[in-house]
Amino acid sequence: MSEDLSTLSAEQRAALAADPATDPAILGELGKDWRLVTEVATNPSTPDETRRSIYVDFPHLRSKAAPSTNGSGAQAADAVVDDAIARFRARSEVQARRSDAIARQQGTSTFQVTDVTGRTVQVPAAQLVGRGTNGMAIASLVLSLVGGSLLAVVFGHVARAQIARTGEAGDGMASWGLALGYLQIASALIFVLFIRSQIG
């Protein structure tokens, strides 16, 4: 059956998942596709077992569910689903408390950053914590140390622009890469001019 379903387009699979006339066994297969869980969960023909397995991973869909056509699905107080929702809410509360604690430590709950379109947006402080070092900044510094001065300058400017948008670490590396790159370019130009003056 799964081989037959794999030959269908995304639109055909979505239509099958939403159609109450679809065979419950097919809905069970479609329920394994995370892109179709909303349609499968709200389809009244979906088997209770499939619906429960969806709720474990996507508990918020429970409020959108259609009543089941087979009587056993009418029991809304399913222990597995209730437990999944409780765990989901507990995780959300813990994450919210951590975010608040980080914001209090940093003295502000949001930061102003510029997104990729150039707009200034407010970003929660928690989202800026734990960002890695910008890869272009690392490349700029490494290239400046091995003599790739021109690329070091280019990567340094790109890195500083990206860091301004994303809040990543690495501004110091980008600055060093730029400084060393420009110094190497200036030294090379002075050397070339000196050689030409000696020859000419």
**Model confidence over 144-186: pLDDT tens digits?**
888 888 888 889 888 888 888 777 888 888 889 999 989 988 9
19 within 8 A of 43, measured Cβ to Cβ:
yes
Q: Tell me the one-letter amino acid at 96.
A: A
pLDDT of residue 78: 57
Q: What is the pLDDT of residues 42-79, one digit of tens each?
A: 888 888 888 888 877 776 676 655 554 444 444 544 56
More confident residue, 150 or 121: 150
Tokens of 123: 């970003």
For residue 196, which phi and psi values (nearest 5 degrees)? -65, -35
More confident residue, 90 or 150: 150
| Residue 124 in this model has a pLDDT that exceeds 70 | no
pLDDT of residue 74: 42
The mean pLDDT of 33-46, rounded to a whole number, is: 85
120 within 8 A of 113, measured Cβ to Cβ:
yes
Residue 3: its H or E element: helix 2-6
Instruction: Give the CA distances from residue 48 to residues 42, 44, 73, 164, in Å, rounded to whole numbers and listed in that order.
Output: 11, 10, 6, 50
Query: Which of these ranges, 11-15, 80-84, 134-138, has the smallest mean pLDDT?
Result: 80-84
| Residue 198 in this model has a pLDDT that exceeds 60 | yes
Reduce the DSSP state of residue 110 to 3 states and report it. strand
pLDDT of residue 132: 75
Report the mean per-residue pLDDT for the chain: 76
CB neighbour class for 47 (10 Å; exposed up to 12, middle 13-18, buried from 19): buried
Nearest-CA neighbor of 50 among 66, 31, 76, 34? Answer: 31
Residue 170: its H or E element: none
